[in-house]
Amino acid sequence: MSSPTPDKANSTDAKTSNFLRQIIEHDLAAGTYAQRRWGGSPGDAEHHAVGPLDPAKIRTRFPPEPNGYLHIGHAKSICLNFGLARDYGGVCHLRFDDTNPEKEDTEYVDSIIDAVKWLGFDWNGAPDAPPYQASDYFGFMYRAAEHLVKTGHAYVDEQTAEQMRLSRGDFGKPGVDSPFRARTPAENLARFREMRDGQHEDGSMVLRAKIDMAHPNINLRDPAIYRIRRATHHNTGDTWCIYPMYTFAHPIEDALEQITHSICTLEFEDQRPFYDWLLAQLCQGGLLGAPPPHQYEFARLNLTYVITSKRKLAQLVYDHKVSGWDDPRMPTIVGLRRRGYTAQSLQLFAERIGVTKSDSWIDYSTLEGCLRETLDHSAPRAMAVLDPIKLVLTNWDEVMGQGRVGTLDDCSAPVHPHHPELGQRQFKMGHEVWIERSDYEETPPKGFFRLFPGNKVRLKYGHVI
């Protein structure tokens, strides 16, 4: 995996420790994943068993759903996952979690690839390697679902969505078993295959994991893992009329790709017990190899004055409140890029705000400061007057001795004050100039050292007036 252009912000000694780095360093020291094998591509236990020891010390992943353009919060996750893989001799995978065909599009796929490349990263262990796609694993996911059905760990439920919601209970009341929960594995397998073959209507039934309807974690009260959905998928077309739920697909994708550290935001913390339960079942059945991936959660980015909800940003676009996903007012990566933000500034921002387990707010000035800091050493200087007031030098002709008011004087200024090797920029000065309105006071307050009647000042890179 390649790293971004090195600079002070990306140097190893500039990295601050956080709980994720401590976990990775502990796992490396303990050899937790040292015996993993890599079959050269994602695959099941048999596929990886015949491969060599994994040359990547760790494997992380960035798994966006291609249903919109990435925003500043995704930039943090990109820099985190790819940065950890870079710093610890690993590989980060770019994977599209495309399990929801109704909201996904190749436009978003292309935009995500462009954003990750622009930020300075490549993926999956080689330059220009194609990203992975969850939809490429649909065959194995179906096989895994059948395994759960055959071993009595999943069943087909034909209740309505409302009935299932009511029977799930709440934090103070245990759930109630579905009337279809007691079906035999053979009956459930036949029914599940009917779902796969398109013999039932959308929404008429789902496949549910069979865990514990009285579990204190509501996410373990027989969660749905497959639903019927007749929709054309941008990658698989009309091959499937049933699609896995994200909570079922996500751990399987990680395991097939031999991910070691699956890093998610805090809203997935309550889903981790199901993540672990599912991988344990599939490892025990020999479908996946051990040790399985482990999920870790961190606090998502909360930036003052900024919306980081993809759904709300999409509404701004679809309601034509902005000119598009790349409107400079948008906090999308393409919007920030169009506004003038650099990849290095977003990398520095992600490093500076760090990684924590608790939610907090980051002031927008921190992001602006990172941009200024990364531009300061390279940006050519220029001057502009934002709130102008005209200044007339009435004795210009007398002092310059040129015999006419229109005479212009040659002046110069450094292209960069700290890099003389960049040379000088030339400009003209005449008897009329524009200055900032705030730089002049008819009756100056105490401590005002700019222009006022009777005072002398030097115009920057110009004359004393």
Q: Is 300 a catalytic residue?
A: yes
**Distance, CA of 409 to chain centre:** 52
Question: Given strand 91-96, what is the order of strands in its sheet?
Answer: 59-62, 91-96, 132-133
Q: Which residues contact 67 (CB under 8 A, 6 or more apart)?
A: 100, 103, 104, 105, 108, 310
Strand, coil or helix: what is 51?
coil
72-82: string of b/e by CB count within 10 Å (b at 16+)? bbbbbbbbbbb
Task: Check 272, 310, 337, 351 and give the catalytic one.
Answer: 310
Amino acid letter for position 43: G
Characterize the bridge pairing of strands 432-436 and 388-392.
antiparallel
Please pick, among 230, 300, 338, 339, the residue that the annotation labels catalytic: 300
* Closest to 147 measured CA to CA, from 200, 97, 209: 209
DSSP 396: H
Q: Pinpoint the alpha helices (H) of 88-137.
A: 106-118
Radius of gyration of the chain (CA): 30
Contact 388, 434 (CB under 8 A): yes
Query: Distance between CA 275 and CA 393 in Å, rounded?
Result: 75
Catalytic residue among 15, 21, 37, 65: 65
Q: Where are the alpha helices (DSSP H) in 293-387?
A: 310-318, 333-339, 343-353, 364-376
Residue 181: other Cβ atoms inside 10 A: 16
Contact (CB, 8 A) for 222 and 208 = yes
Cα–Cα distance measured from residue 397 to residue 152, given in angstroms and rounded to the nearest whole number: 98
Give, for 28, the enclosing helix (H) or strand (E): helix 19-30
Is 310 an annotated catalytic residue?
yes
Q: Between β-strands 424-429 and 409-414, what pairing exists: parallel, antiparallel or unpaired?
A: antiparallel
What is the set of active-site residues? 65, 300, 310
